[in-house]
């Protein structure tokens, strides 16, 4: 048991070690001091959906390991060029490493270490297209379970997170400033449907980019799971809607709303797989027309509820 505990902690600190080296992978940039276009942040564990968090927390001393690969394509950011309007950022492929650990049965800590493997962009001054990559903004989060769900009441958790400026805002793949965020998560498992709803706030430094002002945001989202009870109760159809709005100056262009649809399969071993696709419900900055998602989870010390 001691050896396995050391291995689990080793995975956690190794992930943290590699996440603390935010070196630029490519020299090219857009020529604009921008913002972080990675508005679609994956859930920190398999209790959640694609981006919508679940209220559940890990057991004390339990370790969870998650990797997520996601693709955002088409019209992430448009700009005006002599030949007309075209995308400044058209494609971002990101890989996330997300280790988490149960400090107590009510409190989970996690890191989200994003690496933008491939981005397709255009320099706004020259009009020249280029491909690039970068570390994203490192995220440290704590999820505190306020109370469990009962037959009459949903479960409730509070998630507090902090984004570190380890990305590259000249590529729109990160920020040069710190950003705290807070989310309230409510969830309930019904007989045929599992539901989770979140509402939160993100507090970045106010910034103007290409004539648009980006400020504090209110985020919201709802996720739905439908277990296929007639076939396999651990195989679930999933869907979610997510978005954000700036309360100081609500505009469609700075208020992205999107959706995801897909499946999740959990195994008795603690392994979990999720896959899905989605897109934009409005024309806003950072709201890709097409999104793809693939995640792999493993929980050490997992106890299956399957019989």
| Per-residue tokens: 167 | 């990305």
How many structural domains does the chain have? 1
**Neighbour count for residue 63 (Cβ, 10 Å):** 21
Tell me, yes or no, whether 195 lies in a domain. Answer: yes
Q: Mind listing the pLDDT tens digit for each residue in 120-157?
A: 988 888 888 888 998 999 999 999 999 999 888 999 99
Within-domain flag for 253: yes
pLDDT per residue as tens digits for the range 26-67? 557 777 878 888 888 999 998 989 999 999 999 999 999 999
SS3 content of the chain, % helix, strand, coil (to 5): 10, 55, 40
Burial of 231 (0-12, 13-18, 19+ CB in 10 A): exposed
Positive/negative CA dihedral, 13, 41, 158, 59: negative
Tokens read off for 129: 């297209």
For the chain, the average pLDDT equals 86
Task: Render 58-85 in DSSP notation, one character per residue.
Answer: PPTT-EEEEEEEEEEEEEEEEEEETTEE
| Burial class of 211 by CB neighbour count within 10 A (0 to 12, 13 to 18, 19+) | exposed
Integer Cα distance of 93 and 133 in angstroms: 9
Answer yes or no: is 307 within a domain: no
DSSP at 50: S
**Is 213 within a domain?**
yes
Q: Is 306 a domain residue?
A: no
pLDDT tens-digit readout, 234-265 = 899 999 999 999 999 889 999 999 999 999 99
Contact 122, 87 (CB under 8 A): yes
Q: Is residue 23 part of a domain?
A: yes
Please state the φ and ψ torsions of residue 147, each to the nearest 5 degrees.
-160, 155
The residue range of the domain holding 94 is 2-300
Evaluate whether 228 touches 237 at the Cβ level (below 8 Å). yes
Residue for token pair 């954000």? 244
In a domain, 123, yes or no: yes
Answer yes or no: is 122 within a domain.
yes
pLDDT per residue as tens digits for the range 180-238: 999 999 999 888 899 999 999 999 988 888 888 999 999 999 999 998 877 787 899 99
Specify the 3-state DSSP secondary structure of 203. Answer: coil
What pTM was estimated for this model as a whole?
A: 0.87
Give the C-alpha separation, 262 to 298, whole Å: 19
Q: What is the CATH number of the domain that holds 203?
A: 2.40.160.40
| Strand partners of residue 161 | 141, 181
């Amino acid at each position: 048991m001691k050896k396995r505990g050391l291995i689990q902690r080793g995975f956690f600190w190794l992930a943290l070690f590699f996440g603390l080296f935010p070196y630029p992978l490519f020299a090219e940039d857009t020529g604009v001091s921008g913002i972080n276009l990675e508005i679609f942040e994956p859930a920190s564990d398999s209790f959640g959906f694609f981006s919508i968090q679940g209220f559940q927390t890990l057991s004390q001393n339990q370790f969870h390991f998650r990797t997520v690969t996601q693709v955002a394509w088409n019209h992430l950011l448009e700009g005006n060029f002599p030949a007309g309007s075209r995308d400044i950022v058209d494609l971002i492929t990101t890989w996330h490493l997300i280790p988490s650990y149960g400090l107590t049965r009510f409190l989970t800590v996690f890191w989200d270490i994003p690496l933008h493997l491939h981005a397709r962009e255009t320099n706004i001054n020259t009009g020249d297209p280029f491909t690039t990559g970068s570390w994203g903004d490192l995220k440290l989060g704590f999820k505190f379970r306020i109370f469990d769900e009962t037959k009459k009441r949903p479960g409730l958790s509070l998630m507090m997170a902090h984004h570190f400026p380890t990305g590259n805002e000249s590529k729109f793949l990160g920020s040069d400033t710190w950003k705290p965020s807070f989310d309230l998560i409510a969830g309930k498992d019904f007989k045929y449907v599992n539901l989770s709803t979140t509402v939160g706030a993100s507090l970045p430094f106010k910034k103007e980019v290409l004539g648009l002002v980006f400020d504090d945001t209110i985020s919201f989202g709802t996720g739905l799971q439908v277990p296929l009870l007639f076939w396999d109760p651990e195989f679930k159809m999933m869907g979610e809607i997510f978005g954000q709005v700036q309360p100081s100056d609500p505009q469609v262009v700075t208020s992205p709303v999107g959706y995801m649809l897909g499946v999740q399969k959990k195994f008795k071993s603690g392994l979990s797989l999720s896959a899905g696709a989605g897109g934009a419900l409005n024309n806003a900055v950072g709201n890709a027309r097409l999104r793809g998602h693939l995640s792999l989870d493993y929980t050490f010390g997992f106890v299956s509820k399957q019989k």
